[in-house]
Amino acid sequence: MDKVNFTQVPEFLLLGLSEDPREQRLLFLLFLSMYLITGLGNLLIILAIITDARLHSPMYFFLANLAFVDICFTTTTVPKMLVNHVMGRRGIPYVGCLTQTFFFVWFAGIDSFLLAAMAYDRYEAICHPLHYATSVTPQLCSLLVGASWTAAFGNALTQTVALTRLSFCTHREVPNFYCDLSALLKLACSDAFLNFALMNTVGAIPLFFPFVGILVSYILIFAAVLRIPSRTGKQKVFSTCGSHLSVVTLFYGTLIGVYFNPTSSHTAQKDTVAAVMYTVVTPMMNPFIYSIRNKDMKAVLRAVLSRKRAFIR
């Protein structure tokens, strides 16, 4: 085989969302606004949880961590896309692309594990309320968060190190606005069988096991709810789970749409739209979902915002 064909590409080209200059300007403003809303919204959630003693509980501890990870998750992809729009270029260096892939996979995995930890918290609070304080302790919460970061880190490192063994030749156009792992594997001109195997086995762990854990938790929760005689009691239980279920549906729904649909139904446009949903829209919507559907959070956020307005005056 020609030796030139295996020369490593110095950079990849991120094709982005559109090649039309007018659409690019509109997309720049849209994504800049969404990024700022995501950052400010999640920072406000973290600030509210830290400053108000009413929110010093396991559920809000997990939520604060989820808000922080969402900021990191969005920062992994959106700023680079915005810079490329401003500079009028689409390139990302080879090392930068691998770095982006690592952090993207890492933070996505943490998100998934944290959603599972929150489902477990809801299960204990609803199904075993008398033992909740002794079963979901601060030590256990810290352990679950630490395990989430560690397990997701191991997966991200495995996937990224495996990428370094591949050659990409002259194929360097990534049909997305960030360095997506599956898209990079399809561009490789060397044998990527091991990488696909790792992605579908080790890479599936941060998605499959948390998803199963969430599913089992809510099956048990719904079974417990059916035994509650009071309609008011049932509504109260559903209201405490509604926010989490909405975020889970948004996060896993878009991921399943991208990675677990038949290959024949995939198009670059569909995959890019789904990628926008779980990389930008979902982190942006989380603060709204938790603040709108949660009475305690709404009360604390009003207090925080009123203190800020008083301070500015």
What is the tens place of the pLDDT at every residue in 119-175? 999 999 989 988 999 999 999 999 999 999 999 999 999 999 999 999 887 778 888
- Compute the average pLDDT of residues 191-196: 92
Under a CB-based contact definition with an 8 Å cutoff, are residues 166 and 183 in contact?
Answer: no
- Tracing tokens 């190190």 back to the chain, one arrives at 161
What is the four-CA torsion angle of 73, 74, 76, 77, rounded to 10 degrees? 140
Better-scored residue on pLDDT, 194 or 20: 194
Q: Which two tokens stand for residue 234?
A: 């049932």
Q: Report pLDDT for 154.
A: 96
Q: Is the separation of the CB atoms in 159 and 203 below 8 Å?
A: yes
- Do residues 10 and 94 touch, judged by C-beta distance below 8 A? yes
The string of pLDDT tens digits covering residues 208-236 is 999 999 999 999 998 888 887 777 767 77
Q: Which pLDDT band, with edges at 50, 70 and 90, does 259 fall under?
A: low
> Averaged over 255-266, what is the pLDDT?
60
The candidate with the shortest Cα–Cα distance to 239, out of 301, 292, 300, 287, is 292
Residue, of 153 and 87, whose pLDDT is higher: 153
Cα–Cα distance measured from residue 210 to residue 274, given in angstroms and rounded to the nearest whole number: 20
For the chain, what is the mean pLDDT? 85
Q: Which is more confidently placed, 247 or 143?
A: 143
pLDDT at 305: 66
| Higher local confidence (pLDDT), 18 or 114 | 114
Closest to 282 in 3D by CA, of 237, 236, 241, 249: 249
Task: For residue 261, name the pLDDT band (cuts at 50, 70, 90).
Answer: low
pLDDT exceeding 70 applies to what percent of the chain? Answer: 86
What is the number of alpha carbons within 13 Å of residue 177 lying toward its C-beta?
30
User: Which residues, 6+ apart, have CB-to-CB distance to 156 below 8 Å?
Assistant: 102, 103, 105, 106, 109
Residue 1 reports pLDDT greater than 60: no
Structural domains in the chain, sorted by start: 3-312 (1.20.1070.10)
48-62, 107-121, 134-148: which has the minimum mean pLDDT?
48-62
Alpha carbon 236 to chain centroid, angstroms: 28
Is a pLDDT exceeding 70 seen at residue 242? yes
- pLDDT tier for residue 85 given thresholds of 50, 70 and 90: confident
- So what's the pLDDT on residue 266? 55
The model's pTM: 0.88
Task: Record the tokens describing residue 56, joined without a space.
Answer: 């010093």
pLDDT surpasses 70 at 294: no
Is residue 80 over pLDDT 60? yes
Instruction: Compute the distance between CA of residue 149 and CA of residue 152 in angstroms, rounded to an integer.
Output: 5
| pLDDT at position 6 over 50 | no
What percent of the chain shows pLDDT beyond 90? 43
Structure-token pair, residue 252:
């896993």
Scanning the chain, the segments in alpha helix (DSSP H) are: 21-51, 58-87, 94-127, 132-135, 138-163, 181-187, 193-200, 205-226, 231-259, 268-276, 282-292, 295-312
Tokens of 66: 């989820």
Predicted local distance difference test score (pLDDT) of residue 162: 95
Q: How confident is the model at residue 289 (pLDDT cuts 50, 70, 90)?
A: confident
Residue 91 pairs in a beta bridge with 13
